[in-house]
């Protein structure tokens, strides 16, 4: 996959181990950023990617950052489409009710997993095939 630095200080995504599914994404900031409780801050990676056709990049929280600092992507999961060539921005939300959280320069802040997708043609119909479940929604399967 092709990766482009948009600044001289941007850090390319890395994998923690050979078995890591996600590529760690790093913030490209020159001083710490403080995120107040229950607030979102847009952080920059200053990298752009060329994801292969038929795939997308799913940006998820890093488990350590979520459990230790209560920080996560504000979107929960962001989708980077294969035809997008702009910077990967990271809206980060502080879930902590009491503590301000600090992001340090070049800290690993999220992870991107490259995933395949299926884009079937849509066909408008008047009726859908019936199933035993039908229109039963939330909690209807016993959970």
How confident is residue 107, by pLDDT bands cut at 50, 70 and 90? very high
Question: Does the structure show a pLDDT above 80 at 142?
Answer: no
Tell me the C-alpha to C-alpha distance, in Å, between residue 22 and each of 17, 18, 32.
10, 10, 24
User: Are the C-beta atoms of 7 and 88 separated by less than 8 Å?
Assistant: no
Q: Regarding predicted confidence, which is higher, 134 or 103? A: 103
Residues 6+ apart with CB under 8 A from 97: 37, 38
Please list the helix, strand and coil fractions of the chain in percent, rounded to the nearest 5, in that order: 5, 35, 60
Q: What is the pLDDT of residue 30?
A: 96
Question: Does the structure show a pLDDT above 90 at 129?
Answer: yes
Structural domain spans, the chain = 2-116
CATH of 2-116, one of 1.10.287.370, 3.10.20.740, 2.70.40.10, 3.40.50.300: 2.70.40.10
Q: Regarding predicted confidence, which is higher, 133 or 28? A: 28
How confident is residue 143, by pLDDT bands cut at 50, 70 and 90? low
22-40 pLDDT, tens per residue?
999 999 999 999 999 999 9
Region 79-83 average pLDDT: 97
C-alpha–C-alpha distance, residues 101 and 110, integer Å? 15
Q: What is the pLDDT of residue 65?
A: 86
């Amino acid at each position: 996959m092709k990766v482009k630095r948009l600044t001289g200080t941007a850090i390319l995504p890395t994998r923690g181990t050979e078995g890591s599914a996600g590529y760690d994404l790093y913030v490209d900031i020159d001083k710490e950023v403080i995120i107040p409780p229950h607030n979102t801050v847009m952080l920059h990676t200053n990298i752009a990617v060329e994801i292969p056709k038929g795939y997308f990049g799913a940006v998820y929280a890093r488990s350590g950052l979520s459990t230790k600092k209560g920080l996560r992507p504000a979107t929960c999961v962001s989708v980077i489409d294969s035809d997008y060539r702009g910077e990967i921005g990271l809206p980060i939300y502080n879930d902590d009710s009491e503590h301000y959280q600090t992001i340090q320069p070049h800290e690993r802040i999220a992870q991107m997993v490259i995933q395949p997708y299926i884009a079937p043609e849509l066909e408008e119909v008047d009726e859908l095939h019936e199933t035993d479940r039908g229109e039963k929604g939330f909690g209807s399967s016993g959970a």
